[in-house]
């Protein structure tokens, strides 16, 4: 099993996603002789998982069933154990596009955190690229290294435990892109410039506060970066539902035109909105935004090395 290569069957030691529903799923490490409890009953790894195909429908001990999915960076973002605040697919998608990443790219990242963005970057630059990720916190760096090894991507990533603002990324003039998600990114702009290739490399800084963005932009200008721009990505989700609205009173002329052009005895008109004229309302499908949704996550500042 690897997060960058699809495997057909579930093997001992794999990380799999147990899918109970769109709002209910969790990761599990497949181990011979182990069981996993769900609300639908027990899943026995030896008989229910190992040797089965990914995507299989597995019946639990109480008669309910779940799907076992192959892990992807998107599924891992939704299910990973949180050690820090993480980036979600909304921001990750624009980061990978605006940094112009592709297979073979060299990327520097700080900090690693929970590894949400790291997995997406690794999948994007595989199979010939590489990610150099720096984490200040020793335990988080060690846990990230362990996860990369379990997920079959350790050959594509180098994890370093150090302060990027003082010691940099440990590489020079090779990176196609640099990503910063640290409290004071302006202190690491000089090291980011040193890590980037001679010209044309891209940099992105993620900051939740506009004051951080201002100081980062000033530092980018000081170090000669160009094309500096800041984005805020806001996701608005719509539900498709049937809604009812009252038919407006448009006056006698509109009523005459409506009755002249509509024959209620014609069977082909029975299902049309005009069939509800007598009730004074009309029903139709419409997209309705959610009452509550995720608002501001952070500002993404991009620039190019001149």
**Known binding positions for S-adenosyl-L-methionine:** 114-117, 135, 163, 181
* Residue 259 vs residues 252, 254, 274, 305: alpha-carbon distances, Å: 11, 9, 10, 68
- Give the closest residue to 304 by CA, choosing from 201, 224, 180, 213: 201
Q: Residue length, the chain?
A: 306
- Across the beta sheet with 225-231, the strand order is 157-161, 130-135, 106-110, 177-180, 202-207, 299-305, 225-231
Q: What is the distance, to the nearest Å, from the Cα of residue 17 to the centroid of all Cα atoms in its chain? A: 16
CA nearest to 40, candidates 22, 58, 27? 58
Omega before residue 111 within 30° of 0, cis: yes
Sign of the dihedral defined by the CA atoms of residues 82, 168, 159, 4, in that order? positive
Among 222, 113, 215, smallest CA distance to 164 is for 113
Pick out the residues of the known binding site: 114-117, 135, 163, 181
3-class DSSP state of 77: helix
């Amino acid at each position: 099993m690897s997060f960058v290569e699809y495997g057909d069957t579930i093997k001992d030691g794999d990380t799999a996603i147990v899918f109970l529903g769109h709002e209910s799923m969790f990761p599990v490490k497949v181990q011979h002789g182990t069981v996993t409890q769900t609300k639908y009953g027990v899943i026995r790894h030896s008989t229910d998982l190992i040797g089965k195909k990914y995507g299989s429908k597995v019946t639990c001990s109480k008669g309910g069933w779940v799907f076992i999915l192959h892990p992807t960076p998107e599924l891992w973002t939704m299910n990973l154990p949180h050690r820090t605040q993480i980036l979600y697919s909304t921001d990750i998608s624009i980061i990978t596009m605006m940094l112009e990443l592709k297979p073979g790219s060299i990327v520097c990242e700080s900090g690693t955190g929970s590894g949400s963005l790291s997995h997406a970057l690794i999948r994007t630059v595989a199979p010939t690229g590489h990610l150099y990720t720096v984490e200040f916190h020793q335990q988080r760096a060690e846990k990230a290294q362990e996860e990369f090894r379990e997920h079959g991507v350790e050959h594509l990533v180098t994890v370093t435990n150090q302060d990027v603002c003082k010691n940099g990324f440990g590489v020079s003039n090779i990176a196609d892109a640099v990503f910063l998600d640290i409290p004071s990114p302006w202190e690491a702009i000089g090291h980011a410039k040193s890590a980037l290739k001679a010209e044309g490399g891209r940099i992105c800084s993620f900051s939740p506060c506009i004051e951080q963005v201002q100081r980062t932009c000033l530092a980018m200008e000081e170090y000669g970066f160009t094309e500096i721009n800041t984005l805020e990505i806001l996701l608005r989700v719509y539900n498709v539902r049937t809604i009812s609205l009252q038919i407006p009173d448009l006056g006698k002329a509109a009523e005459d035109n409506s009755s002249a052009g509509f024959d209620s005895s014609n069977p082909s008109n029975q299902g049309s909105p005009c069939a509800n004229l007598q009730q004074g309302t009309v029903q139709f499908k419409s997209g309705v935004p959610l009452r509550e949704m995720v608002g501001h996550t952070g500002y993404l500042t991009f620039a190019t090395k001149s």
